[in-house]
Structures are given as structure tokens and as C-alpha cells.
């Protein structure tokens, strides 16, 4: 059974910290966008927040050195969180290049985030590196990603509103906080 020690704790510091900081920036973006104030500021906060979240997903899965993330040596979990990282990165970078996050791009991002967080959550619970609520937090991220993209892709029209996006961002930030506070 893997334990959190000084050699494996960097996933929680860097990955959890990335999810927390990126999630907070994303929450601010969602609140500003909902109020319709500071559209340019909101856009850039969202872009920067999602890029930091992408880095956080990657570091939760791979750690600082590639062998000591929250998923341990589980390759499926590492690849899943790398896919979630790529999804968040695309979601953040596409608006910079004036590419609409709609249609095919929305589906690509949705598949990467939903399946990636599910694979990561499964691996995190199996490897038992994370403890307490931190062990289960990625399942909440998976659920919010699923709900958000079901609404955004038109799968469930009742979910297509900014509240789900705000809750998604809050769940990512709280997951980062739980990882950051995860102890042996």
C-alpha cells in the first residue's frame, strides 16, 4: 500500500495547488461573466485559470518526477489525468486563437475531461495514496464535468447555464484544497 511521504507529497503540493489556484481564477471568471462586467478581464482569468487547472491535473497524475502522482504507478490513471489536462488546456487555449469552443471542439474537450477525470478518480481510489475526502474528490470533478458537458453539448438542456459552470469551478478548487491538505 502506497503512503504519502516526502518523496510522494509533491503531487499534492503542486497538483493540488494548481487545481486550487486555477479553480479560484475560474470561479472569479464565472462570476464576472455572469454579471456581464469586465468581459476582457473575465476572459483572461478563465484562460489563465484553465491553463493552471490543466497543469494541476497533470501534476496530480504524474507528480513532479513522473512516478509519484496520486495514482501511483497506475498507467490508466496517469493517462486519464493527462487527457483531462489536455482537455482543460484546449478549453483554455482555443479562445486565444479565436476558435469557438463549440461543435467538434466542445465534444473533444468533453470526452477528454469526462473520461480523463473518471480514469483518474478510479486510479486514485485504487492506489490509496490520497487519504480521506481527497481520495474521493476526483469523482466529484468527474460528475461536474459530466453534468457541465451534458448541458453544453445539448444532451440535457436544463443544465446549460452558468450555475453548473460555477459549481464545476468550485468543485475543482475544493478538490485542489483537499489534495493540498492531504496528509499521511
pLDDT higher than threshold 70 for residue 17: yes
Q: What share of the chain in percent tops pLDDT 90?
A: 58
Residue 4 belongs to a domain: no
pLDDT tens, residue by residue, 104-149: 999 999 999 999 999 999 999 998 888 889 999 999 999 999 999 9
How is residue 67 annotated by DSSP? Answer: S
Whether 154 shows a pLDDT value over 80: the answer reads: no
Domain presence at residue 3: no
**Structural domain that includes position 40:** 10-181
Does the residue 156 lie in any domain? yes
Eight-state DSSP code of residue 7: T
For residue 2, being part of any structural domain is answered with: no
- pLDDT recorded at residue 8: 54
Does residue 52 lie in a domain region? yes
Placement of cell 453534468 in the chain: 147
Query: Tens of pLDDT along 39-65?
Result: 889 889 999 999 999 999 999 998 876
Q: Please provide residue 161's backbone torsions phi and psi, each rounded to the nearest 5 degrees.
A: -150, 170
For residue 2, list its beta bridge partners.
Answer: none
Closest C-alpha among 78, 81, 69, 88 to residue 182: 69
Q: Which residues of 105-132 are buried (b: 16+ CB within 10 A; e: fewer)?
A: ebebbbebbbbbbbbbbbbbbebebbee
pTM given for the model:
0.90
Output the CA–CA distances (angstroms, integers) from residue 44 to 1, 22, 146, in the order listed.
Answer: 42, 12, 24
Question: Residue 72 pairs with which residues in a beta bridge?
Answer: 69
Amino acid at each position: 500500500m502506497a503512503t504519502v511521504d516526502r518523496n510522494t507529497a509533491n503531487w499534492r503540493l503542486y497538483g493540488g495547488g494548481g487545481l486550487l489556484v486555477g479553480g479560484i481564477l475560474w470561479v472569479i471568471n464565472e462570476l464576472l461573466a455572469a454579471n456581464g462586467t469586465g468581459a476582457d478581464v473575465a476572459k483572461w482569468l478563465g484562460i489563465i485559470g484553465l491553463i493552471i487547472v490543466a497543469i494541476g491535473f497533470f501534476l496530480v497524475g504524474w507528480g513532479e518526477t513522473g512516478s509519484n502522482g496520486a495514482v501511483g504507478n497506475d498507467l490508466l490513471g496517469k493517462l486519464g489525468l493527462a487527457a483531462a489536462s489536455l482537455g482543460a488546456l484546449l478549453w483554455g487555449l482555443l479562445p486565444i486563437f479565436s476558435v469557438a469552443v463549440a461543435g467538434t471542439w466542445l465534444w473533444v474537450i468533453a470526452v477528454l475531461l469526462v473520461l480523463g477525470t473518471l480514469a483518474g478518480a478510479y486510479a486514485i481510489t485504487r492506489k490509496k495514496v490520497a487519504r480521506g475526502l481527497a481520495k474521493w474528490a476526483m469523482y466529484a470533478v468527474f460528475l461536474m464535468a459530466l453534468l457541465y458537458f451534458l448541458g453544453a453539448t445539448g444532451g440535457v438542456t436544463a443544465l446549460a447555464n452558468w450555475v453548473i459552470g460555477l459549481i464545476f469551478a468550485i468543485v475543482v478548487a475544493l478538490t485542489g484544497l483537499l489534495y493540498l491538505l492531504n496528509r499521511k
